Amino acid sequence: MASKPRNRQSGSSAKDAKSDALEASRARPENEALRTNQGVKIADNQNSLRAGPRGPSLLEDFIMREKITHFDHERIPERIVHARGSAAHGVFQPYESMAEFTKAAFLQDPSVQTPVYVRFSTVQGPRGSADTVRDVRGFAVKFYTSEGIYDLVGNNMPVFFIQDAIKFPDFVHAVKPEAPNEMPTGGSAHDTFWDFVSLVPESTHMVLWTMSDRAIPRSLRTMEGFGVHTFRFVNAQGRSRFVKFHWRPVLGSYSLLWDEAQKIAGKDPDFHRRDLWEAIERGNFPEFELGVQLIEEKDQHTLGFDLIDPTKLIPEEIVPVRIIGKMTLNRNPDNFFAETEQVAFHPGHVVPGIDFSNDPLLQGRLFSYTDTQISRLGGANFHEIPINRPLAPNVNNQRDGMHRQTINVGQASYEPNSLSDAWPKETDPAPHDGGFESYPEPMEGTKIRVRSESFADHFSQAALFYQSMSEVEKEHIAAAYQFELGKVTRPEIRARVVNEILSNYDLELAKQVAEGLGLPAPSRGSKAVGKQQPSPALSLLNRVKPGIKTRKVALLAAPGADEASVKAIRKALEDQGAVPVLIAPTLAPIDGMHPDATIAGMPSIMIDAVIVCGGDASAKVLAQSGDARHFVLEAFKHLKAIAALGAGRDVLNAAHLPDHADGVATGADADLDAVLEKFIDAAGQHRVWSRRSIAESVPA
Ligand code: HDE
C-alpha cells in the first residue's frame, strides 16, 4: 500500500504542453541559501534583531518584517460556493473528429491531446469541511486548447435547484450554514434549506437527486459529471445543434452508504481528496469518457419539456449519449494553493464552435464568475496566474491593474492605431481565421420579467427519477429525507415538504417519509403527476462495472498470520488491479511483513472489502480484539464482501457473524483459490445488496 515516492514523470503524457508552460513558474530551491523576497541572502532565520539578548525587537529587522507581513496575507477569501476542492492535471483526447458538429479545434483530430486541469468540489461546506457530506459535487474541467481556454464547469448531477440565476443568492443563503451560529457545516439538513426548497417547487427534482446515493460518492474517480445546461455546438459551416455534456468514469459509478459517509467524515475528512491523490501517485490514472447528447435545432420543442430549463434532463433512452473522447488524470498538482486554490473557472470561457443556449441560469452564470474571481484573486489580472494562463497567447489592449505581470511594450494600447501598423487587430472577416463569432440566433421579444410557461412542470421529472430507481435506491432516498427532515426543528417545514412536495411526485414515498417523521399520512398532492416512462440509465446500480480494479481490500492479520498465504492473497488481488492493505493491531512486523496501517488508523469504513487471514495465533489475537470484531461487523453491516481463511473464520464467529451469508466466502487455508474466486466475484459487484435485511440487525 505504501505509495511510491512522488514522480512527476509517471504517466506517459505527464509532460504535456501545460506542464511545460508551468515549468517557468515552479520554484525548486536545491542547495540554495535562504534569501529575502528582494534576493538578499539570510544569515540567521532563528533569531529576530533585538537590542541586547533580552532587549526589545527592533523595527529595523527587515528580514522578520518581510517574513511576517507576507505570512499575514497568506490567505485569500474562499469560494462562496464550492470552497472545498481537489484537483488534478491530465489530458483529453477525442475518439473521433467531431467536425460535422463543431469546429472546436480540440475536437477535430483523434491524435491530438489537450491538457486539462480538473477540480472536484463539494458545494456547501467551507475549505476545511469533510469530503463525504451529503451534497452536490462540482466537476469543473479547464481545457487548455490551441484556441484558448474552454471551461466545462459542471456538477455530478445533471439538473439544478433553480431555473433563474436571480434566485441563486437566495438558494445559497438558505443552504449555507445558518446565519446565527454557522451550523451545520457541509450539509443541507437544517431549517433554512428545507424552508426554501419547500417553498420553491422548481427545486424538487434536484433535491431528490441530492437525497439519492449520487450525493455521497464513493470516490471522485467514479463520479459522473454533467454540463447541466444545454449548450450549442456550431460547425465550420455555421450550423448549430444543441448539446448536453456528460462525463462517464471508465471504472463505473459507486456510492457510499450514509452511515459510512458520516463516520468517514470524522475518521478521515480528506477521504475523497486522499483517494484521488493516492490513485494518481500509484499510476491508477482516473479516466472519464466525454459524452454528448445532440439535439437538432428543429427538434428542440419535441421533448415534452423545455430544453433550456436547467431543472430538466434529457433521458438518454430518448437522446442517446454519444461517447466522443476520454480524459485521463495523470498528474497531481505541485502546490495546492498555487493551482487548486487559484484556478479560476468560468462557464463563459468558450472557444469557437461552442456557444450558449438561452437557459436563464446559464445566462446569469456568465456574469458571476469573472466578478467572483476579481474579489477572490485580488484583481482583474487573474488570467496571468500560471494555472489560469491559456496556451494560446492573450494579445489585446487590456492594460495595468493589480499585480500585472506582463510588461506590454510599445506606445499603442488602443485600436485602431497607426503607431504599430494597426496591430493587434481583429481576425479577418473571411475566412475568419479562427475568431469567435457568436451564433446568430434570431431574436425578437418584449423586455419582460416573466418565467416561461414551458418551465412550469416541477414534478414529472422528479417522478421519472424516482420511478427509475432500484428498490435499494428508493430505500436510501426515503431514509435520506427522514434523516434530513428529522434535523429540521420546525414541524411546519417538515409537513410542507411531505404534503406539498413529495405527495405531488410520489405518494408512497411521501407516506413513508411521513411515517418516519411521525406525521399524519399525506393525501395525493394537488399537482400530483402519475406514471412516467422510466429511464434505467439513471439508476446507479446500472452504472456498476464489475471488477475490483483500484478497490482497497483489507487483509486483516496479527502476529502469527500465515505469511505464504498473505503473500498469495496479495498477489492475486494485485493481479486484478486491486489495492491490498495489510491491517493489524499494531505496526509491528508480522514475520517479514510490515503492516500498512493499524485497525484504529484504517477502520473498515475506509476499505471496500476484507479478508481475514489464516493462522491460529493471528486469529486468536483478532478474535479477542474489540476493534477487529468491530471491523468485520461493520464491513458486514455495510454490505462489503468478506472472506475468512482457516482460523480466520474464528474471528467471524467471535463477532457472531454467520459464515454462510451472501458475500461471505470462507474455507480452509488449502481452499485459498476457491475462496478468493468467490470473494473477488462478490467484491467486484461493489456491495452485497441481498444481505441487507440481515445486515440491518448488526450492531456496528
Ligand atoms: Fe457556480 N459558481 N454558480 N454553478 N460553480 C461558482 O465561482 C454561480 C451553477 C460550479 O472548482 C463561483 O469561482 C451562479 C451551476 C462549479 O473553482 C461563483 C450560479 C453549476 C464551481 C458561482 C451558479 C455550477 C462553481 C464560486 C447560478 C453546474 C466551482 C467560486 C446562476 C452546472 C468551480 C467561483 C471551481 C463556482 C456562481 C450555478 C457549477 C460564485 C451565480 C448550475 C463546479 O461564481
Query: 545 CA to middle of ligand 1, Å?
Result: 31
Query: 81 CA to middle of ligand 1, Å?
Result: 7
Assigned domain for 342 exists: yes
Assigned domain for 582 exists: yes
Identify the band that residue 4 occupies on the pLDDT scale cut at 50, 70 and 90. very low
Q: Which residues of 117-150 are buried (b: 16+ CB within 10 A; e: fewer)?
A: bbbbbbbbbeeebbbbbbbbbbbbbbbbbebbbb
Q: Does one domain contain both 584 and 611?
A: yes
Of the candidates 483, 508, 542, which is a domain's last residue?
542
The residue type at 253: S
Q: Each residue of 532-559: pLDDT tens digit?
A: 999 999 999 999 999 999 999 999 999 9
Which residues are CB-neighbours of 203 under 8 A, at least 6 positions away?
Answer: 161, 162, 171, 196, 197, 311
Q: Tell me, what CATH number does 557's domain have?
A: 3.40.50.880
Assigned domain for 18 exists: no
Tell me, yes or no, if 594 is annotated catalytic.
no
Of the candidates 388, 410, 438, which is a domain's last residue?
388
Q: Does one domain contain both 176 and 259?
A: yes
pTM of the model: 0.96
Assigned domain for 41 exists: no
Identify the band that residue 431 occupies on the pLDDT scale cut at 50, 70 and 90. low
Q: Does one domain contain both 570 and 521?
A: no
The pLDDT value recorded for residue 28 is 84
Assigned domain for 9 exists: no
Tell me, yes or no, if 155 is annotated catalytic.
yes
Q: Are strands 322-331 and 354-356 parallel, antiparallel or unpaired?
A: unpaired
Q: Tell me, what CATH number does 236's domain have?
A: 2.40.180.10
Q: Does one domain contain both 210 and 353?
A: yes
Structural domains of the chain, count:
3
Q: Each residue of 122-161: pLDDT tens digit?
A: 999 999 999 999 999 999 999 999 999 999 999 999 999 9
Eight-class DSSP state of 301: T
Of the candidates 542, 567, 594, which is a domain's last residue?
542
* Average pLDDT across the chain, whole number: 95
Assigned domain for 21 exists: no
Q: Annotation-wise, does 232 bind a ligand?
A: no
Q: Which three cell numbers stand for residue 587?
A: 505496526
Report the alpha-carbon distance of residue 107 to residue 235 in Å, rounded: 11
Q: Does one domain contain both 234 and 351?
A: yes
The pLDDT value recorded for residue 6 is 45
Q: Does one domain contain both 501 and 589?
A: no
The pLDDT value recorded for residue 660 is 84
- The domain in which residue 235 lies consists of 85-388
The closest residue, in CA terms, to atom 42 on ligand 1 is 160
Report the alpha-carbon distance of residue 494 to residue 513 in Å, rounded: 10
Test site for ligand 1: of 116, 135, 153, most ligand atoms within 8 A of the Cβ: 153
The pLDDT value recorded for residue 430 is 61
Q: Are strands 137-145 and 114-122 parallel, antiparallel or unpaired?
A: antiparallel
Provide residues with CB under 6 Å of ligand 1. Answer: 79-82, 85, 119, 121, 138, 140, 153-155, 160, 165, 168, 228, 343-345, 361, 364-365, 368-369, 372-373
Q: Does one domain contain both 686 and 585?
A: yes
Handedness of CA 403, 405, 407, 412 (dihedral sign): negative
Identify the band that residue 700 occupies on the pLDDT scale cut at 50, 70 and 90. confident
Q: Are strands 137-145 and 148-155 parallel, antiparallel or unpaired?
A: antiparallel
Q: Does one domain contain both 300 and 166?
A: yes
Question: What is the position in ligand 1's atom list of the atom closest to the CA of 226?
Answer: 32
Average pLDDT over residues 309-327: 98
Assigned domain for 361 exists: yes
Report the alpha-carbon distance of residue 250 to residue 222 in Å, rounded: 8
The closest residue, in CA terms, to atom 23 on ligand 1 is 365
Q: Each residue of 36-60: pLDDT tens digit?
A: 999 999 999 999 999 999 999 999 9
The closest residue, in CA terms, to atom 31 on ligand 1 is 165
Query: 38 CA to middle of ligand 1, Å?
Result: 38
The pLDDT value recorded for residue 5 is 40
Test site for ligand 1: of 136, 157, 220, 369, most ligand atoms within 8 A of the Cβ: 369
Query: 369 CA to middle of ligand 1, Å?
Result: 7
Query: 242 CA to middle of ligand 1, Å?
Result: 22
The pLDDT value recorded for residue 43 is 98
Q: Does one domain contain both 508 and 553?
A: no
Assigned domain for 369 exists: yes
Q: Annotation-wise, does 134 bind a ligand?
A: no
Q: Does one domain contain both 234 and 307?
A: yes
The C-alpha cell 476520454 sits at 326
Report the alpha-carbon distance of residue 140 to residue 227 in Å, rounded: 9
Average pLDDT over residues 470-485: 98
Q: Does one domain contain both 307 and 182?
A: yes
Q: Does one domain contain both 372 and 258?
A: yes
Is pLDDT of 10 > 50? no
Which of 47, 73, 155, 335 is catalytic? The answer is 155
